[in-house]
Amino acid sequence: MPDVLPDLSSGAQQSHLLSMLSDSGARRVLRAPSPDLGIAEHLPFPFFAMVGQVEMRTALLLSVINPAVGGVLLIGPRGTGKTTCVRSLTDLLPYIEVSTCPEGCLPDDLDDGGDSAMCEECRRKLAAGEPISRLEPVKLVELPLNARLDDVVGGVNERIAIQQNRVRLELGILARADQNLLYIDEVNLLDDVIADAILDASAQGSYTVRRGAMSGTYRSRFVLIGSMNPEEGRLRPQIMDRFGLRVPVQGLVDRQERYEVYQRVRRYQLNRRRFLAEWAVFSASAREEVILARELLKETVLSEQAIEIGLALVQGLGIDSHRAEYAMFEAARAHAAADGRDVADLRDIRAVAPMALRQRRSQFMVDFFARQFDEDAAIFSQIDTLTSTAEKDAAEK
């Protein structure tokens, strides 16, 4: 690791959002007042009631602020709060405009792509002044462990096919994940075919299903969140590379923090509603800040120094994948926006570089390119020898 980054983390200005993360250790216990701000029915554990695990929560928060970071992979043993933490994100998710059409048409499509960018039905509705979208909170869509390919990409609705003698394609999980978060627990145990379908959709933002003469193209722009226990099998390198940020998640080491986790989980289990009410004020203000950060992100740029040192860092570490700096720069912009700044600087690079760059370097590729270099050198040396022999022969004649 080249020592290029000055330590700016201490004394740095942090926004409410970021400082709430680092403050949620055991020593800041339940200072929240408890007005009832209206609680959703799902009742996941509150994001800010998680103790410690700052890097995991920062990575998840950044991916909510800026989906372009390309998702988060959480790597660690069972029981360390990975799934709880992912589910708790629903606490912070903003509202977005969601299409009511199976093909995912939105009013903006007309401006962006003209008539052909929208299905006939939606063009008719818009012309008649009917809505084709509604506001909905971003959702967390979980991929069930036993999902089949048809569940993921969608398939033929057999009930309609039999009853009405016509074929209709059903929306799959990928289409329902559009504009939402898609969570895959134990992503390393996922069937290869399903993993490939998900990664293709995630890379392209859409996918096409063909069944006989029928086909449908669905939007599928989602933030991919995966978790895995490395004891239970490795993840194919090409899947690993697709996750923008990777966070190793260990159990807490501080005894006081572990006891605080126990107490909070116990309170939550005893009475979820009351527990959530105690944390609602945090959740509400964090949701506000996420919305502000998402707005600010549109204008947030990287400083010259952040670009220069970021690129030098990737090169210095011998990382080939261009996704490395993409994830790092997008995460740095999100980190700055979360901190209320419109310029991402070295502080932000420093905060996000480990999560964006770790486990990117492949010894196999280092060796592969080294061997290629040797082979090329041998080829040129042969050419040189043959050329000089030919020249000598020519001179002697």
- CB closer to Zn ion out of 171 and 328: 171
Task: Enumerate binding residues for Zn ion (CB under 5 A).
Answer: 101, 103, 105, 119, 122
Reading the block at residue 346, the tokens are 């070295």
What one-letter code names the amino acid at 329? Answer: F
Please, is 34 exposed, middle or buried when counting C-beta atoms within 10 Å of its C-beta (0-12, 13-18, 19+)?
A: middle
Q: How far is the CB of 119 from Zn ion (least distance, A)?
A: 3
3-state helix, strand, coil in the chain (%, to 5): 55, 15, 35
Q: Does the annotation mark 323 as catalytic?
A: yes
Query: What Å distances lie between residue 43 and 183, 273, 279, 319, CA to CA?
Result: 18, 7, 12, 41
Nearer Cβ to Zn ion, position 24 or 179? 179
Shortest Cβ distance from residue 122 to Zn ion (Å)?
Answer: 3
Residue with tokens 């990777």: 246
Cβ–Cβ < 8 Å for 293, 344: no
Closest CA to 97 of 109, 106, 84: 106
Tell me how far, at minimum, the Cβ of 103 lies from Zn ion, in Å: 4
* Contact in structure between 40 and 272 (CB atoms under 8 Å): no
Complex with Zn ion: residue 86 or 105, whichever CB lies closer: 105
- Give CA–CA dist 252/83, Å, rounded: 15
Selecting among 123, 176, 287, 323, the annotated active-site residue is 323
Place of tokens 């996941």: 44
| Backbone φ/ψ region at 359: left (φ over 0), alpha (ψ -120 to 50), beta | left
Euclidean distance between CA atoms 53 and 248, whole angstroms: 10
223-228/72-75 β-pairing: parallel
Q: CB 100 → Zn ion: shortest distance, Å? A: 8
- Residue 227 backbone phi and psi in degrees, to 5: -135, 150
Shortest separation between residue 46's beta carbon and Zn ion, angstroms: 37
Nearest distance, CB of residue 109 and Zn ion, angstroms:
9
Q: Write out the catalytic residue numbers.
A: 323
